[in-house]
Structure 1
Amino acid sequence: MGTRELGLPERVPATDGLPERVTIWEVGPRDGLQNEKSTVPVTVKLEFLDRLAAAGLTTLEATSFVHPKWVPQLADAEELLAGLNRRDGVRYPVLVPNERGLDRALAAGVSHIAVFGSATETFAKRNLNSSLDDQFAMFEPVVTRARAEGLDVRGYLSMCFGDPWEGPVSPEQVVRVGKRLLELGCSQLSLGDTIGVATAGQVERLVDTFTGQGIGVDALAVHFHDTYGQALTNTLAALRRGVSTVDSSAGGLGGCPYAESATGNLATEDLVWFLDGLGIEHGADLDALVSASAWMAERLGRPSPSRVVRALAG
């Protein structure tokens, strides 16, 4: 059953005060699959990526060059990138944790990378084996070399709203860390609600704190998890502040291997349904996305967490 059969208007008037268009940063193939206990064959990953590209998504985070010891699911990064059907107009960024990862990324011919930082001391120690401040010594040569090679670099910042060990995180602390990533040379900063505890008021306050420090909303993206069912509410709060890049995961796959309380990412299909209802352009074909995620759910052997996928594919 398609969306027309459910009576959803194909286009509604754009809502005042919101971006006319949102860039969907699809993280399902990397962030969504990294926690899977059973190895997903590279052929399945490649078809998943191609189905998502065919559905109109233009930014697909393909994999990570993290050491296989830490994330075995992504040990096939080189093989995956070698077999990728690269479509015109589609970016395939990869996560790069250190200089060795950058070496591998450059050898694979990537043009967009991302580094992954922490807004809190405890998560930096647990996830990066580093202190909050010392993490930048690891990022600096990666970002500098990548930029010198002509690569675009995104910065992920985790635990921006709450940390399971430290509790609520102040916006001032997040901005202090985020500014350092931008100053290193990151073109965009993705603000992560890693354990899904953010509220709309917190989102507004954090974005306002960034802009109050002279950082434009065009440098910011948001990355929400749906632990308390607030991902779309928080997305709306970010959109109302002018943020126009939203991370999501096809089918709602994913979590964080270093934060057990983290549940799945905001589902791309739920985001698309939501954006359609606000009249915001995004370029994706919802029915094709649902088909891709339902296909992947069958390969993983369980139903999709996405409410929209369950409604339309059921």
Structure 2
Amino acid sequence: MPSGGISASLTAPLLSWYDAGHRDLPWRAEPTPYRVWVSEIMLQQTRVEAVRGYFSRWMKALPTVHALAEAPEDVYLKLWEGLGYYSRVRNLHRAAVELCERFGGELPADYDALLKLPGIGEYTAGAVASIAFGLPVPAVDGNVLRVAARVTDDRTPITDPKYKKAVRGQLAAVMPGDRPGDLNQALMELGATVCVPNGAPKCSECPLTHLCASFHHGTTGLVPVRSPKKARRIERRTVLLVRCGSLVALNKRPADGLLGGLWELPSLEGHLPPGKTRQLLESRGWQIQKLLSLRPAKHIFTHVEWHMNGYYIELGDAPEGLTLVTPSALRVDYALPSAFRAFLTIIEDEV
């Protein structure tokens, strides 16, 4: 790395800055291994402010590893509803079951053992190990990679696995034995609030400007370098908000693939016009009494975009294969991915 890499001289000013006024986050107030683990999984690809409410509801409903391991699928999926990337919560549950079977319901105070649990990678293992157990291991996320790139004025794409490995190695060499968790959180905090991902970094607020090579070179706007993203695949779908009397129709998605095993509003492939939609559904035996167009919507996943049109449909009799629920049950008991929420506005007072 340029500028000699990451220096141990960043530790003292960064910890002093962190001590002087870091964000008051609920999982920091009581950093038990379980709370740190759940918060870190929730925070993956999700804004901190969005996680606050989810974390509080989760801890009230499932306060321990044992509670999570014993929870029915519908319960933990509903608690996760709207956070997206549902494989995260499925892995949380799988790991909780494994923890109960192998470790008595406790997370192990061992980085390598944590790394072997479902859904836990190098970053999460490092966060839990350092914050909850005080082990001197780094936790390198996107915020930390951005700070490291700017401090060293490194032009290696931060998406390059070799770069991440190099940063982990250099941070491991300067990790303080007495406050490793605080240093990891300080680096993440700096990247989230000062050395920000979008827009210019707030260098006037940074405790590391005297050490920052890109600040002194005037290149903060050029760093970090990112590899070009691949264009997302676009899928077109026709979403159906189906009413049968006072009930709403749901369908369960296949176990594999995108949103696997979750509840959804029934849908059809492609953008179908009203006449074609009616014709297709009536050929399946649907007794359509009313069909109204809904406002189109778009939902972005990591690699796919759904471009959706939709219809509100009232039926005489319920067709086979659909699950009918009350609007209140839909609100309380069924986890519906946020991709479909735009089509519920017509019944939002009921839901």
Specify if TM > 0.5.
Answer: no
Larger radius of gyration: 2
Please give the TM-score of this superposition, normalised by the length of structure 1.
0.29
Output the TM-score relative to the length of structure 2. 0.27
Query: Quick check: which one's helix share is greater?
Result: 2
Greater RCO, CA 8 A, separation 6+ = 1
